[in-house]
Amino acid sequence: MSGLPDGYIAYGADANCTLAVCPVEWSILEYQPSIPASAVFIALFAIALVVHLYEGIRWRHTLGSFTVPMILGLIDEIIGYIGRIIMHGNPFSFNGFLIQIICITTAPVFFCAAIYVTLARTINFTDRSLARFNPKFFIWFFIPCDIISLVFQAAGGALSSVSNSGDKLGLNMSLFGLSFQVFTLVVFILFTADFLFRYYRRHNGFSTHIANPGHFRIFLLGLWAAIIFILIRCIYRINELSEGYSGRLFHDEGLFYGLESAMIVLAVFSLAVGQPGFGLKGVPQEAYTAPGTEMNSVQGSKPPSV
């Protein structure tokens, strides 16, 4: 970077600039991340972590398939915002930048994994006969796609952080990972919408055939809201990274909090009601006495497992 004092480096593993000798505009972000904003989002993610942990303990059958990925993602988010706090103290901190770019970029992948597994649970709970594929197919297909997204985003973030300004391989890897995540989400939305439409038409809505239709509607609302929030965030990050680290979007702190931080906070709290333990509740079969009623969606008082 031109204009740097002799012997000083603003970016990279060997960066030795400090605010005492280098202006903040020479840092990779070109601003000092706000401590209050980072602290607020750390607190919100910590609250969400406690809520999801409580729900996982309460509905133990969702612990491994839903709660664990949610907790991993929330821990990832918290670590990422700690990285931003480090960068407030020293905007030239390479370690701080690595922490925030990798953790904040990859965390939503874990939330998507929880969502994908939930579709299989929903199909088993409602009417498996309406699924175009075995519910386990959705796990076998979407989870590997999620892992691909995670690998490319993490590797791309790390590689782009250590490469020189002319090397776009790392950025392109991150862009591919994010784009593939959006593609996977869109395919998931199509499959989910198709199943729910078929279910709604077969059963004339969600008020029949479901033990707790009120909970089920709220569950679906939370699930869909989370998907939309994550999709908005991913589209923003694709546009941001497509400009590179020198682009306008990458240096807009307010936009980052509005379209990254806020979207993911809304998503994780939406998933607190989009929790399969809450929405996919059954009651004993004997509670249903109407002749001819199908009871495939309720397996006694114990929720079905995938």
Residue 122's Cβ-side half-sphere holds a number of Cα atoms within 13 Å equal to 30
Residue 265's Cβ-side half-sphere holds a number of Cα atoms within 13 Å equal to 19
Please write the tens of the pLDDT for every residue from 71-109. 999 999 999 999 999 999 999 999 999 999 999 999 999
Q: What is the token pair recorded at 80? A: 């990422």
pTM for this predicted structure: 0.86
pLDDT at 293 over 90: no
Q: Where are the domains of the chain?
A: 109-285
pLDDT of res. 306: 39
pLDDT of res. 2: 54
pLDDT band at 136 (very low <50, low <70, confident <90, very high): confident
Please write the tens of the pLDDT for every residue from 37-81. 999 999 999 999 999 999 999 999 899 999 999 999 999 999 999
Range from 75-84, 114-123, 207-216, 282-291 carrying the lowest mean pLDDT: 282-291
pLDDT band at 214 (very low <50, low <70, confident <90, very high): confident
Please give the residue that has the higher pLDDT: either 176 or 138: 176
Q: Residue 111: which of 156, 49, 58, 180 has the closest Cα?
A: 49
> How many contiguous H segments (helices) and E segments (strands) does the chain have?
9, 0
DSSP code of 207? Answer: S
Cβ atoms of residues 174 and 105 within 8 Å: yes
pLDDT of res. 208: 56
Q: What is the token pair recorded at 95? A: 């370690």
| Cα 63 to Cα 78: distance, rounded to the nearest angstrom | 20
